Amino acid sequence: MIKGDTKTAILDAAQELIQRRGANAMSYQDISEAIGIRKASIHHHFPTKDALLDALIQRYTAYFLGLVDSVVKSKKDPADQLLAYASLFEATLSEGKQDKACLCGMLGAELSSLGSPAAAGVKRFYRENEARLVRILEEGKVRGQFHFKGDAKLVAAMIFSLLEGGALVARAEGGHKRLHAMAEQTLKLLLK
Amino acid sequence: MIKGDTKTAILDAAQELIQRRGANAMSYQDISEAIGIRKASIHHHFPTKDALLDALIQRYTAYFLGLVDSVVKSKKDPADQLLAYASLFEATLSEGKQDKACLCGMLGAELSSLGSPAAAGVKRFYRENEARLVRILEEGKVRGQFHFKGDAKLVAAMIFSLLEGGALVARAEGGHKRLHAMAEQTLKLLLK
DNA sequence: GTCTATAGCGCGATAGAC
DNA sequence: GTCTATCGCGCTATAGAC
């Protein structure tokens, strides 16, 4: 709280705008209007848009993986862990003024127009998330609770894609409730 | 070939650009350079970008659903139909200069910056695809081949989101081969 | 139907005062 | 650290000649 508060406000505004509309539809002017600061001041904190995106992805990844780890730690049951993991995507969707998808899901669509540090950050987000899903799935299999055939890595990739894609598709119809129903349905396929 | 060839060339170029980079990163100038025509000429065929997007979505939807229907008709086995359906997404991903996702998957991320006819078109694409998946899934269940618990509509939504999301995520890592592996893994979950 | 030319705007980014 | 002012560019879109 001593310093850097403006930086945080900029990142918060940028994140919300991107989650709602995408990076290419978000401008310094939009951020400026959202938090009541001039464009030039934003450039002082983040010289270029690429730098802003990069910082945003780093912060989001750390924050989101932190949520994942704490939510996974708080449950013993892999099935509960999986639903809790999915609920992070659902919560984003229903947060605030709504229609917010995962930041890195949005950026995935815009990957080829991103700077290379930003693009690398998005890929890392995907990898880290899938790695955590693998752990949940393998634990569930060891316990004799999940009964899927095949590679846990592929099931993890499947579930991750389904949640990222589901967040985007559910914005068009059904919203967070529909995403939740999809997550529960997916769990049913794993349990038997 | 008698007429309207320019219109088709414009739509082809626009589609490729959007599938690769997104609608907000695609400009009349890009199309102009791709097909060797002036920007003003594009405006003659499609007065506004919204009109171009709308026409593009209509054409894509008709084309894609046509592929779906013919591919479904050509297979008897629901499991084969499902893999064939998924292969449409895989084929897009590996086509041409690569890294092309589903047009409406890309536009789903940019939904809130689309004009309302375009947005409605994207939603319709989602609905029509899920409806076709429901039919495949129900047929598979009736035949005693698919063994999923729960609502076929939810499983359809799940699979559709997984393919749309998977196309986006697989562009970051693994490409069409990874998407194919995910589709096969999904089928395994349904078969038993 | 395609062209040249240009209007009018919003963008990312920079210079320099305070 | 924030501001005013502005640059230069690319965008969508339009007017009008050919």
Encode pLDDT of B158-168 as tens digits: 999 999 999 99
**Cα dist from A117 to A70, A103, A121, whole Å:** 27, 15, 6
Using the Cα atoms of residue A22, residue A23, residue A27 and residue A28 in order, give the sign of their dihedral.
Answer: positive
Q: Do A113 and B169 touch (CB under 8 A)?
A: no
Per-residue pLDDT at B3: 58
Main-chain phi, psi angles of B151, to 5 degrees: -80, 130
Closest CA to the C1' of C14: that residue is A40
Give the percent of chain A with pLDDT over 90: 96
pLDDT at B2 over 60: no
Write down the pLDDT at residue B122: 98
A101 near B CB under 8 A: yes
CB atoms within 10 A of CB A36: 8
Q: pLDDT for B80-135, tens place per residue?
A: 999 999 999 999 999 988 899 999 999 999 999 999 999 999 999 999 999 999 99
Query: What's residue A2's pLDDT?
Result: 47
- In chain B, residues 129-188 whose CB comes closer than 8 Å to chain A: 148-151, 154-155, 157-158, 160-166, 168-174, 178, 181-182, 184-186, 188
Q: Does the pLDDT value for residue B10 go beyond 60? A: yes
At residue A3 the predicted structure's pLDDT band, cuts being 50, 70 and 90, is low
Interchain proximity B127–A173, CB inside 8 Å? yes
Q: How far is B3 from chain A (nearest CA, A)?
A: 34
Mean per-residue pLDDT for A23-37? 98
Neighbours of B78 (CB within 10 A): 22
Q: Which of B127, B160, B173 sits opposite A123 (nearest CB)?
A: B173
Per-residue pLDDT tens digits for B30-83: 999 999 999 999 999 999 999 999 999 999 999 999 999 999 999 999 999 999
> Strand C: which positions are within 7 A of a protein CB?
1-6, 10-16
Which of the four CATH numbers 1.10.357.10, 1.25.10.10, 3.50.50.60, 1.20.1630.10 does domain A56-191 have?
1.10.357.10
> Which of A154, A68, A50 is CA-nearest to residue A107?
A50
Please, what CATH class does the domain formed by B53-191 belong to? mainly alpha
- Count CB atoms within 10 A of the CB of residue B73: 9
Out of B164, B173, B189, name the one closest to residue A165 (CB). B164
Q: Which structure tokens are listed for B20? A: 């690769």
Structure tokens at A17: 């705008």
pLDDT single digits (tens) A68-110? 999 999 999 999 999 999 999 999 999 988 899 999 999 999 9
